[in-house]
Every structure is written in structure tokens, then in C-alpha cells.
Amino acid sequence: MIARIALRTAARPARATAPRATALRFYSEDQFGRKEKAHEDQYVRKHQEEQLKKLKEQLAKTKEESAKLEQQIQEHQSKNGSK
């Protein structure tokens, strides 16, 4: 039985690699570069959006603090009767 299996496997022609697998290895460097650049651009845009969001939050907080200070100044001036 082992002899028959050995004969069958020896008689089989060598299988060629799948054309798809070899085609994947030979993609153009330009295509890879474009894909990598697209990923980098996406990361940069996301990072910039996060920074912009933080800056807008800081600006809103600063405006709120400024409004409170202006109100305190007006209250202080109205108590003292001077402008």
C-alpha cells in the first residue's frame, strides 16, 4: 500500500504556483506608494481634526472665562460708581 502511494505521488507533475499568488508579489511600487501615502494622508487629516477640535474647545473655554471677567469688571465698576 505504501508503495502504491509513493508511486502515485511521484508520478504527479509538480504543481505550478497559483498565478494570483505570484501576481500579488509583482505589484508596482508606485501602487504601493500611493496606497501608503493615502494612509498617511488619512492619519494626518484625522490628527489635524483632533487638534482643531481641542483648539476650538480651548477657545470656547477662554471666551467663557473672558465673559466672566468682563462681568466682574462691570459689577466692580457699578459698585464703585466709576467707569
58 vs 19 pLDDT, higher one: 58
Looking at the chain, the whole-number percentage of residues with pLDDT higher than 90 is 54
Degrees to nearest 5, angle at CA 7 with 6 and 10: 85
For residue 48, what pLDDT is reported? 98
Is the pLDDT at 10 greater than 90? The verdict is: no
Is the pLDDT at 44 greater than 70? The verdict is: yes
Under 8 Å between Cβ of 83 and 77: yes
